[in-house]
Amino acid sequence: MFVSAIAAARFGTSMTFGRPFHRRSLDRLLDGMRAAQREFGAVAAAEDDDLLGGAALDPQTRRLVQGRRLRTQALRAARETDFYAEVFRRSGIDPAAVDHDSLSAIPVTSKQALRDDPSAFVRKGASPAHGCSTTGTTGRATMVWLSDDELHLMATLAALAHFQSQTFRPEDQILLGISPRNRIAAHATAFAAAAVGAVVRIGGMIAPEQTLATLAEHHPIPGHTSRISVLTAHPSYLALLVETARGLGYGPADFGLERILVGGEILTPGLRRRAQEVFGELEFDENYALTELVPFGGIRCERGHVHYEPATCLVEVLDLHGRCLPVADGEPGVLVGTPLPPFRDTTLLLRYDTEDVVQTMVHPPDCAMSRLPALAQLLGKRRQAVGHDDGWTFVRPVVEALESVGGVPLPARFGFWRARGGVVVEVMAPDGPGLRAEIGVALERQGVPLAELRVVQSQDELLHPLPLRCDLREGDFARAAPAVASAVTALVTASEKSAAAGRRGRP
């Protein structure tokens, strides 16, 4: 216990004062938490438990601490990366003088710049070991380099978070329904599950019939639930599972799911409701994270705010018109982030434009997570937002409206663009005057200035469809067993029948 106490002290020192993490201390800290769990059982973290955030700081002290870490990162970036050496040379800014007030003089780093030359952001003297890329849903994948110690730190932070939140429990069987190409998320989640004592399998985004069969099967592993109890998935893939399950006749009695962890897209109330109709009562854990700013991320509280740990990243919300001006409280803007030491040591980024539109808070949060700063909500990608005479229309109100209508298949496949008097919205759905009217009412209820509604019956008819992560699915030769016998015949294709006949005819 003394060794664990020392490890916890070292961890707290790193979080509070920005000193490098000690890998062995991280491992000992996890060992201590496992030992405590075995002896005392799972213990929920108190609302004011600051293990992951170091000491709780008032806003003025937090600003001073962030300013010091920002200055350290600016100096390292200017001296030890090719990209920022040129940025500071051209701008004439002294990196040693960078603080909150002078930060705006540093040009914002575009996603395209990182895509074009990720090695230009790697610190000289670093030890890059893992090239971790995004899945590239909205364009060519973006990559950051991490050292082995950094990747281990990301996984350990995930494990500590799951220990405290109890989203993973020792008896769980966990299925990762995300792409293995999402290296950081897949590794960190699997590591965290193993650290807690759960068992985990990486399924990937395979055909939904196969994932549903895995969720419905009994997996007799001693000491664990008999079925998959936790699923991680992007909302569009979860939506595909729900729609497929309904078509195959699955119901709550066919599954043992208790919790679903979602991120990477917008989880709508309509999808939540329909998922519970298929899988039964569920807990949803919704998070916001992105590869480029890891370990920065947000967690939705009971009020719907997206809270984040300020020790990991300095967050700015800038105007939508590209003028790099901060937005007023309660206004939407683009999230720009600067990952801070000691969390990032290999790929250094200053004022990185995530292209994610968020809405800022009008007042400080007063929820259970109020010690952490928060964003009011996530609104979607800037490139998918539409400006018009009445302001802006973002992805969130459109997708929330469409997925609230039971007649619209999941995931909602749609697009929208500017038109005189508002926006044109297109959606794939069965056509009919009753459904059209219901969709129109739902869009207007969400504040979408609907100039025209275009309903199509096939995905190919969509003129400007928004990309969905579920379309990045991996292949698998295996064929899943459906819920009911009648669906078996429907799922066996002509080519599979032919191949089976050929195998039977072999000597």
Separation of alpha carbons 344 and 122, rounded Å: 11
Using the predicted structure, report yes or no on whether residue 172 has a pLDDT greater than 70.
yes
Name the residue with higher pLDDT: 498 or 130: 130
Using the predicted structure, report yes or no on whether residue 51 has a pLDDT greater than 80.
no
- Mean pLDDT within 377-402: 95
Q: Cis peptide leading into 411, omega within 30 of 0? A: yes
Please name the residue ranges forming H helices in 249-394.
269-279
Give Cα 23 to chain centroid, integer Å.
26
CATH number of the domain bearing residue 453: 3.30.300
**Residue 404 falls inside a structural domain:** yes
Return the biggest CA–CA distance within the chain.
80
Name the residue with higher pLDDT: 22 or 444: 444
**Residue 238 falls inside a structural domain:** no
What is the pLDDT, as a whole number, of residue 46?
Answer: 46
pLDDT band at residue 483, thresholds of 50, 70 and 90?
A: very low
> For the chain, what is the domain count?
1
Using the predicted structure, report yes or no on whether residue 495 has a pLDDT greater than 50.
no
What is the pLDDT, as a whole number, of residue 11?
Answer: 59
Residue 412 is part of which domain span? 386-469
Using the predicted structure, report yes or no on whether residue 479 has a pLDDT greater than 90.
no
- Mean pLDDT within 36-43: 69
Using the predicted structure, report yes or no on whether residue 371 has a pLDDT greater than 90.
no
**Residue 491 falls inside a structural domain:** no
Using the predicted structure, report yes or no on whether residue 53 has a pLDDT greater than 60.
no
pLDDT band at residue 21, thresholds of 50, 70 and 90?
A: confident
- Mean pLDDT within 62-72: 89
Separation of alpha carbons 215 and 231, rounded Å: 9
Please name the residue ranges forming H helices in 314-419.
395-403
- Mean pLDDT within 488-492: 36
What is the pLDDT, as a whole number, of residue 171?
Answer: 95
What is the pLDDT, as a whole number, of residue 27?
Answer: 85
Type of residue found at 230: V
Using the predicted structure, report yes or no on whether residue 334 has a pLDDT greater than 70.
yes
pLDDT band at residue 496, thresholds of 50, 70 and 90?
A: very low
Q: Which residues contact 238 (CB under 8 A, 6 or more apart)?
A: 177, 231, 260, 262, 267, 271, 275
Model confidence pTM above 0.85: yes
**Residue 398 falls inside a structural domain:** yes
Alpha-carbon separation of residue 232 from 165, 255, 259, 342, 364 (angstroms): 16, 15, 9, 28, 31
Using the predicted structure, report yes or no on whether residue 501 has a pLDDT greater than 60.
no
**Residue 407 falls inside a structural domain:** yes
What is the pLDDT, as a whole number, of residue 486?
Answer: 37
What is the pLDDT, as a whole number, of residue 474?
Answer: 78
Separation of alpha carbons 445 and 481, rounded Å: 41
Type of residue found at 417: W
What is the pLDDT, as a whole number, of residue 261?
Answer: 96
What is the pLDDT, as a whole number, of residue 59?
Answer: 75
What is the pLDDT, as a whole number, of residue 30?
Answer: 84
**Residue 440 falls inside a structural domain:** yes
- Judged by average pLDDT, the poorest of 18-22, 78-82, 140-144 is 18-22
Of the candidates 338, 375, 345, the residue with the CA atom closest to the CA atom of residue 357? 375
What is the pLDDT, as a whole number, of residue 331?
Answer: 96
**Residue 180 falls inside a structural domain:** no
What is the pLDDT, as a whole number, of residue 54?
Answer: 45
What is the pLDDT, as a whole number, of residue 181?
Answer: 84
Of the candidates 284, 282, 224, the residue with the CA atom closest to the CA atom of residue 255? 282
- Mean pLDDT within 126-146: 89
- Mean pLDDT within 365-373: 88
Return the H-helix or E-strand segment holding 494: helix 494-504
Q: Cis peptide leading into 482, omega within 30 of 0? A: no
Note the pLDDT tens digit of each residue in 189-246. 999 999 999 999 999 999 999 999 999 999 999 999 999 999 999 999 999 999 999 9
Using the predicted structure, report yes or no on whether residue 356 has a pLDDT greater than 80.
yes
Name the residue with higher pLDDT: 126 or 137: 126
What is the pLDDT, as a whole number, of residue 12?
Answer: 55
pLDDT band at residue 475, thresholds of 50, 70 and 90?
A: confident
φ and ψ of 305, to 5 deg:
-70, 155
Going 123 to 128 to 132 to 138, the CA torsion angle's sign is: positive
pLDDT band at residue 453, thresholds of 50, 70 and 90?
A: very high
Separation of alpha carbons 468 and 446, rounded Å: 21
Burial class (CB in 10 A: 0-12, 13-18, 19+), 244: buried
What is the pLDDT, as a whole number, of residue 18?
Answer: 64
Using the predicted structure, report yes or no on whether residue 490 has a pLDDT greater than 60.
no
Separation of alpha carbons 448 and 417, rounded Å: 11
- Judged by average pLDDT, the poorest of 77-91, 312-326, 427-441, 482-496 is 482-496
What is the pLDDT, as a whole number, of residue 140?
Answer: 81
pLDDT band at residue 28, thresholds of 50, 70 and 90?
A: confident
- Judged by average pLDDT, the poorest of 403-412, 468-477, 478-487 is 478-487
pLDDT band at residue 165, thresholds of 50, 70 and 90?
A: confident
- Mean pLDDT within 424-433: 94
Percent of the chain at pLDDT exceeding 70: 86
Using the predicted structure, report yes or no on whether residue 177 has a pLDDT greater than 90.
yes
What is the pLDDT, as a whole number, of residue 36?
Answer: 77
Alpha-carbon separation of residue 282 from 167, 255, 256 (angstroms): 12, 11, 10
**Residue 476 falls inside a structural domain:** no
The three-point CA angle 55-57-58 to 5° equals 160
